[in-house]
Amino acid sequence: MKLATIHDGSRDGQLAVVSRDLKSAHMADAIAPTLQAALDDWAFIAPQLDSLYTQLNRGETRRAFDFEPQRCMAPLPRAYGWVQGAAYLHHVELLLRARNADMPESLRDDPLMVQGGSDAFLGPHDDILLAHEEWGIDFGAGLAVIVDDVPMGATPDEAHGRIRLLMLANDVSLRNLIPAELAKGGGFLQSKPAAGFAPVAVTPDELGEAWRGGKVHGALRSTWNGHLVGQPDAGVDMAFNFPQLIAHLCKSRRARAGTVVGAGTVSNRPTGKAKASAGYGCIAEQHALETAADGAPGTPFMRFGDTIRIEMLDEGGKPVFGAIEQTVRKA
C-alpha cells in the first residue's frame, strides 16, 4: 500500500490511500481517521486499507481524486518517537575525519543512535524555517521506517516483522551548532530542527525486490538548487539494517506503534566507477572531502531561498515515495 496524510487544518490531518502511480487518492476516513489510528490497530485496519488500495488501482472507487503532494503533511505528522541511527559508516568516518577524530571501533559492531524531536515533522513541501543562515544549514537524505509495537529485548528477526511502513526523510542539521552541543558532553538538540518526509509512506511489499535483507535497495537522489549532487544506493554500505537498528533501540525499552526509526544519511564508499559518481547526501560530507583534499571546505551550506529535492525512483524511472521539495526560508 501507499498511504499519505492530507492537510485539513488539524495536527494529524486525514489519512488517504494513494494509487501505485501516485496519480490518484481516496480518503480513508471510513476506515481510520489518521495514520496513527491505523497503526494503533494495524492487524484489523491494514486489510481494509489494502482492499481500498486495490480498488483504487483498478479504478473502482467512487470518491477518488487527483493526488496533490502539495496538500500533504508528513505521512505521520507527529510521532511517539523519532530515533535516528548512523547506519552508513562511511558517512560517520568522513564527518569524524573532518574533526580530526578517529571512529571508535565499537561503532562497527554497535550502532550509534540519537533521539530527535518528533512532535512536529515537516511535510514534503513545507518550508524549512530558520532564524540564521550562520547556523550552517544542511540537508540529509535518508530513509526511515515506522514500526508497530516492539517489545523490549526484541531480536532483529522479531523487529523485522514489526516494520509497517517505509518513508524518505530529510534529516535537517545545523552543522555550526553541533560542536558546542557535543562539547557539553550531550547529544543533538538545537542542531537538529524538524525533519521532513516525502508525501507517501509505503508498505515493504510495495517495494518488491528493492526491499531485501532489511534494507531498501535503490538510488536516493538529492537535487540542490536544481543540480543533482548525490544518488547513492541506499542498500549499499549500510552496516546495520533496519531490523538491527530497531533491536538496538529496544535493548532497554519498548517501542510503541508509530515510532519512526531512521538510518541516517545514505552514503556510499567511493570504490569503483559507479560509486565514485554517487555524490553526497549532505553538504557536511562534501566539506569533509574538500578539507581532506584542499585543507578547507569550499562548498557553502544552504542559504535562504535554496531548494532541496530528495526522491527515489524505481527501475522504470518512476517515483516510489513522491518527492521532498523544500525551500529554506528565514523564520
Query: What pLDDT does residue 272 have?
Result: 62
319: DSSP letter: B
Contact between 2 and 53 (Cβ < 8 Å): yes
Query: What pLDDT does residue 16 have?
Result: 98
Cβ-in-10-Å burial (0-12, 13-18, 19+) of 137 comes to: buried
Query: What pLDDT does residue 273 have?
Result: 53
Q: CA-CA distance, 111 to 94, in Å (whole number)? A: 16
Where in the chain does DSSP place strands (E)? 2-6, 14-18, 24-27, 65-66, 82-85, 113-116, 128-130, 137-138, 141-147, 163-170, 173-174, 196-197, 201-202, 211-212, 215-216, 220-224, 227-230, 260-265, 307-312, 324-330
Task: List the grid coordinates of 156.
Answer: 532483529
Contact between 152 and 252 (Cβ < 8 Å): yes
**Any idea which residue has 529535492 for its cell?**
309
Task: List the grid coordinates of 186.
Answer: 550531550
Query: What pLDDT does residue 250 have?
Result: 97
CA-based nearest residue to 200, from 97, 315, 53, 54: 53
What pTM, to 2 d.p., does this model score?
A: 0.95
Give the residues across from 173 on adjacent strands.
138
pLDDT per position as a tens digit, 97-121: 777 777 788 888 899 999 999 999 9
Task: List the grid coordinates of 124.
Answer: 514534503
pLDDT in tens, the chain (331 residues): 999 999 999 999 999 999 999 999 999 999 999 999 999 999 999 999 999 999 999 999 999 999 999 999 999 999 999 999 999 998 888 888 777 777 788 888 899 999 999 999 999 999 999 999 999 999 999 999 999 999 999 999 999 999 999 999 999 999 999 989 988 988 899 999 999 999 999 999 999 999 999 999 999 999 999 999 999 999 999 999 999 999 999 999 999 999 999 999 999 988 765 455 699 999 999 999 898 888 889 999 999 999 999 999 998 899 999 999 999 999 9
Task: List the grid coordinates of 77.
Answer: 505528522
- Which residues, 6+ apart, have CB-to-CB distance to 230 below 8 Å? 141, 220, 221, 222, 278, 279, 280, 281
